[in-house]
Amino acid sequence: MRMLVTGGAGFIGSQFVRATLHGELPGSEDARVTVLDKLTYSGNPANLTSVAAHPRYTFVQGDTVDPRVVDEVVAGHDVIVHFAAESHVDRSIDTATRFVTTNVLGTQTLLEAALRHGVGRFVHVSTDEVYGSIASGSWTEDTPLAPNVPYAASKAGSDLMALAWHRTRGLDVVVTRCTNNYGPYQYPEKVIPLFVTNILDGLRVPLYGDGAHRRDWLHVSDHCRAIQMVMNSGRAGEVYHIGGGTELSNEELTGLLLTACGTDWSCVDRVADRQGHDRRYSLDITKIRQELGYEPLVAFEDGLAATVKWYHENRSWWQPLKEAAGLLDAVG
């Protein structure tokens, strides 16, 4: 199988590429992997060091929005797994144009090329944030989309474009929507790596609003395993939820991180809430469980301990990123 992975130098995409080429995803042992990545601030070749010399790996630096580059790269691939996106909610509230460009137009450019080149399957990786916020219960795959922030609105737009190409032109599309991921190689602007690395440096950590916002946390390896199951066995034109991690309020998460890092609440700053901050996300994952036999494998306690340990041991990975972003002396 010849697989094109967009955004493969980012947090989740690089986990998917490493797991594929390290033979950790049954059924993908022989896959040839091409990564197409623009290397924005969150794309990092260091995330792919362990596969850089792999004989079945190719890296192409390029923009998913550029039709010429995309056309050239897509040719000859059987499957596209599309991770490339602008992914940080706070940045989307500051400047949304890049989000619309990459997330909607970039996806559209890839879909057109996939159709033109007869790509057999297009896996569009999306998020629970497209549904907005839910006070109780969980969303199913049929719940109407109601995004609140520009990031989520742009992802919702891209999901709808992907599904429209299936319905109108018969492109074999599957869409996955996942809950919050955590694990190694996550750019240190996101809450878990930001808090852990700030604490390691004796800096303060910012907790938004009343800290009661609730999220489901899933280890990135479980997310990637589920994507591969959907890629292999999901039904064309369908959406699959991926989650089943651990639901926590931001305050509860902060408490667990402080304990895991051996410190206390004295380093926490309560800061003004994010605009339009969704209170709670929750996905019903019955469909992927019943159709594909997916279950998350990493217990949150174990995954968090391993993640904290990873950031502790990999300062050389995150310190240059924080320096470049001016995050070393900020609260975040």
Ligand X SMILES: NC(=O)c1ccc[n+]([C@@H]2O[C@H](COP(=O)([O-])OP(=O)(O)OC[C@H]3O[C@@H](n4cnc5c(N)ncnc54)[C@H](O)[C@@H]3O)[C@@H](O)[C@H]2O)c1
Which positions lie near ligand X, rule CB under 6 A?
A: 6-7, 9-13, 37-40, 42-43, 63-65, 83-87, 102, 106, 125, 127, 155, 178, 180-181, 187
Token code pair at residue 143: 């719940």
Residue 264: CB minimum distance to ligand X, A: 27
Cβ closest to ligand X, residue 145 vs residue 178: 178
Which residue's beta carbon is nearest to the bound ligand X? 10
Half-sphere exposure of 320 (CA within 13 A, CB side): 8
**Assigned token pair, 247:** 């639901």
Q: Which of 131, 151, 281, 294 is catalytic?
A: 151
Q: Quick check: is 151 catalytic?
A: yes
Angle at 125 between CA 120 and CA 128, to 5 degrees: 145
Distances (CA, A) of 102 to 25, 40, 168: 28, 11, 23
At CA 153, angle to CA 150 and CA 154, rounded to 5? 85
Distance between CA atoms of residues 306 and 140, nearest Å:
31
Give the chain's largest Cα–Cα span.
57
Q: Which of 128, 159, 216, 247 is catalytic?
A: 128
For 5, the token pair is 């992975």
Strand duo 214-219 + 246-249: pairing: antiparallel
User: Smaller CB distance to ligand X: residue 28 or 44?
Assistant: 44
The distance of closest approach from Cβ of residue 69 to ligand X in the complex, given in angstroms and rounded to an integer, is 9
Closest-CA residue to 251 (of 299, 178, 195): 195
Could you give the CA distance from residue 244 to residue 216 in angstroms, rounded to a whole number? 7
User: Toward ligand X, which CB reaches closer, 28 or 109?
Assistant: 109
- Taking the complex as a whole, how short is the minimal distance between the CB of residue 266 and ligand X, in angstroms? 28
**Quick check: is 278 catalytic?**
no
Kindly tell me which of 35 and 199 has the beta carbon lying closer to ligand X: 35
Which lies closer to ligand X via its Cβ, residue 6 or residue 265?
Answer: 6
Residue of 63, 86, 112, 129 marked catalytic: 129
Q: In Å, how far from its chain's centre is CA 233?
A: 21
State the nearest-atom distance from the C-beta of 317 to ligand X, in Å.
13
Q: How far is the CB of 217 from ligand X (least distance, A)?
A: 9
Q: Minimal distance in Å, beta carbon 227 to ligand X?
A: 9
83 vs 166, beta carbon nearer ligand X: 83
How many alpha carbons fall within 13 Å on the CB side of residue 248? 18
Q: What are phi and psi of 237, to 5 degrees?
A: 85, 5
Catalytic residues: 128-129, 151
